[in-house]
Amino acid sequence: MSEKIRVLLSEEEVDRRIGEIGKQISEDYAGKSVHMICILKGGVCFTCELAKRITVPVSFDFMSVSSYGSGTESSGIVKIIKDLDEPLEGKDVLIVEDIIDSGRTLAYLVEVLKQRKPASIKICTLLDKPSRRVKKEVRVDYTCFSIPDEFVVGYGLDYDQKYRNLPYIGVVEFDD
């Protein structure tokens, strides 16, 4: 079985939308600084591109969490693989995700991070699949694109550790 990639969102569309979201975040955090928490691995490309477009002071930290195990469906059990390096107390936190699917991982993560007493927590995602949402209480503050329920790659998203480096968002299509 082989796969091919169909372009869902072009590099130009993604670039333009990240610029718009960066401008909105800059306006919302005017006079403050934003502490971006990049969710690894998929969030790296988006976090870097977004940070370049934010005009207020930015600091970074990284977290790795998993709820997938080995399949493509969320197991519902969230595990912190790499925790933050710095305390969050008093910081305006922006969690940066590549994609929000069921919302389980993010719901768990927000509860964990709230216990660390940040001044605020907001969520920014490159892609959102609202049709897959199980945790309805997850409130996404900044969404670049809402997409249909398809398996996507590119801009940090992978299939079997491949395609993360694509400069666009593509849909994996399998040949039988």
Q: List active site positions.
A: 101
Q: Are 106 and 79 contacting, i.e. CB atoms less than 8 angstroms apart?
A: no
Distance in angstroms (rounded) separating the CA atoms of residues 8 and 34: 30
Residue 104 gets the label, from left (phi > 0), alpha (psi -120 to 50) or beta, of alpha
Distance of CA 175 to the CA centre of its chain: 29
φ, ψ for residue 73, nearest 5 deg: -105, 140
Residue 27 gets the label, from left (phi > 0), alpha (psi -120 to 50) or beta, of alpha
**H helices within 29-175, ranges in order?**
44-51, 104-114
